[in-house]
């Protein structure tokens, strides 16, 4: 295992630490996507289980709109009481089937003395502009009414200021303040039916069950986490393989050039030394750690001046 000893070097340990951090990030993102999938599954299960369930009797469950009941989202609830049409509000900028419009909100006082908010349906905005006045909104039935609504959580305040008679979100505490009613401020009801029947705004269709791409995204992030480790160990294996190939090349070059130079570095080959040296220049393209091994030492020059050097010195002195 000595050939893998480089893994303990600072460079490779840093790379391994980065690999772990990258894998942890991928695991975090994978778990986040999986949590989104679980949320969608829970939302879908409430639609499929609750939407067409038998209505709950509000008289037996008077806290349905005042307390959180996440498991009962979309569950029908039957209420008896009267509308407060004088406190009707429109929620603007509500698209439906590709058109801009409003959702119509009317407080409803139950026989138990509770006041709940009812979303009676959707109305197209005049001239297709959700900021303009809606077409004439059908009035709710007067007097005693029996309605079936589906339980939905209130929305959060989106920070957009409204105009008279309109709101920008179904923020129940804000609506209670605007209408001056003692409204239950946790859940509201989306219209299912009214008795007696009167013309109503458009009652929107059952929400679609959306499963989304979160599961596939989660699997992808898990795969990425594994791939970081595969890439790290593949790189380590490639380094070992390259080192082995380098060593093999070094051995072959040493064996080849040994026939041209003796131990003292003197040229002993039969062919022109210049040709041999040109071949050796190709070594310059090799890694730095190989150059000192494959390039033989040139022959040491004697301290004694050669005849050519003496002649050049005389000419230089004369000039």
Q: Residue 73 is part of a domain; what is its CATH number?
A: 2.40.50
Is 217 a member of any domain?
no
Is 156 a member of any domain?
yes
pLDDT band at 234 (very low <50, low <70, confident <90, very high): very high
Which residues constitute the domain of residue 75? Answer: 56-195
> Given this model, what pLDDT does residue 131 score?
47
Is 166 a member of any domain?
yes
**Lowest model confidence (mean pLDDT) among 189-193, 212-216, 217-221, 278-282:** 278-282
Is 201 a member of any domain?
no
Beta strands (DSSP E) in 25-144 are: 56-57, 76-83, 89-91, 101-110, 115-124
Say if residues 117 and 83 touch (Cβ distance below 8 Å). Answer: no
For residue 158, what are the contacts with CB-CB under 8 A and spacing of at least 6?
Answer: 168, 169, 171
> Given this model, what pLDDT does residue 73 score?
92
Is 69 a member of any domain?
yes
Q: What is the pLDDT of residues 201-232, one digit of tens each?
A: 888 888 887 777 888 999 999 999 999 999 99
pLDDT band at 65 (very low <50, low <70, confident <90, very high): very high
Tokens 């294996």 sit on residue: 237
Q: What is the pLDDT of residues 73-86, one digit of tens each?
A: 999 999 999 999 99
pLDDT band at 55 (very low <50, low <70, confident <90, very high): very high
H-helix segments, the chain: 10-50, 172-179, 214-257, 273-281, 288-294, 307-318
* Burial of 229: CB neighbours in 10 Å, binned 0-12, 13-18, 19+: middle
Is 5 a member of any domain?
no
- Give the mean pLDDT of the chain: 84
Q: Could you tell me the pTM of the whole model?
A: 0.62
* Total structural domains within the chain: 1
Q: How many CB atoms lie within 10 A of CB 139?
A: 14
Rounded CA-CA distance 221/36 in Å is 14
73-107 per-residue burial string, b: 16 or more CB within 10 A, e: under 16: bbbbbbbbbbbbeebbbbbbbbebeeebbbbbbbb
> Given this model, what pLDDT does residue 106 score?
95
> Given this model, what pLDDT does residue 233 score?
94
Q: Output 159 or 316, whichever has higher pLDDT.
A: 159
Is 128 a member of any domain?
yes
**Span 97-101, average pLDDT:** 87
Is 178 a member of any domain?
yes
Tokens 């109305």 sit on residue: 123
Strand partners, 310: none
Q: How many CB atoms lie within 10 A of CB 312?
A: 12
């Amino acid at each position: 295992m000595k050939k893998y000893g480089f893994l303990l070097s600072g460079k490779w340990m840093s790379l391994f630490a980065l690999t772990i951090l990258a894998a942890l990030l991928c695991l975090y993102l994978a778990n986040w996507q999986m949590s989104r999938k679980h949320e969608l599954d829970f939302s879908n299960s409430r639609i499929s289980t609750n939407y067409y369930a038998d209505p709950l009797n509000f008289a037996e469950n008077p806290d349905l709109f005042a307390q959180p009941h996440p498991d009962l989202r979309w569950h029908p609830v039957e209420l008896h009481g009267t509308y407060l049409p004088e406190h009707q509000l429109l929620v603007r900028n509500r698209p439906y089937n590709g058109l801009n419009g409003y959702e119509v909100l009317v407080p409803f006082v139950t026989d138990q003395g509770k006041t709940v908010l009812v979303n009676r349906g959707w109305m197209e905005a005049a001239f297709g502009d959700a900021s303009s006045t809606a077409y004439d909104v059908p009035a709710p039935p007067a007097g005693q009414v029996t309605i079936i609504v589906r339980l939905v959580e209130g929305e959060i305040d989106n920070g957009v200021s409204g105009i008279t008679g309109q709101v920008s979100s179904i923020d129940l505490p804000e609506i209670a303040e605007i209408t001056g009613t003692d409204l239950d401020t946790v859940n509201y009801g989306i219209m299912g039916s009214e008795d007696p029947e009167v013309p109503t705004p458009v009652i929107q269709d059952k929400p679609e069950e959306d499963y989304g791409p979160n599961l596939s995204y989660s699997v992808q992030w898990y795969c990425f986490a594994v791939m970081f480790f595969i890439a790290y160990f593949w790189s380590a294996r490639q380094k070992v393989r390259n080192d082995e190939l380098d060593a093999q090349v070094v051995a072959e070059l040493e064996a080849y050039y040994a026939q041209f130079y003796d131990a003292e570095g003197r040229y002993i080959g039969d062919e022109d030394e210049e040709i041999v040296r040109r071949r050796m220049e190709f070594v310059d393209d090799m890694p730095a750690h190989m150059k000192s091994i494959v390039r033989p030492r040139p022959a040491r020059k004697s301290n004694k001046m050669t005849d050519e050097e003496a002649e050049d010195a005389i000419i230089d002195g004369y000039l």
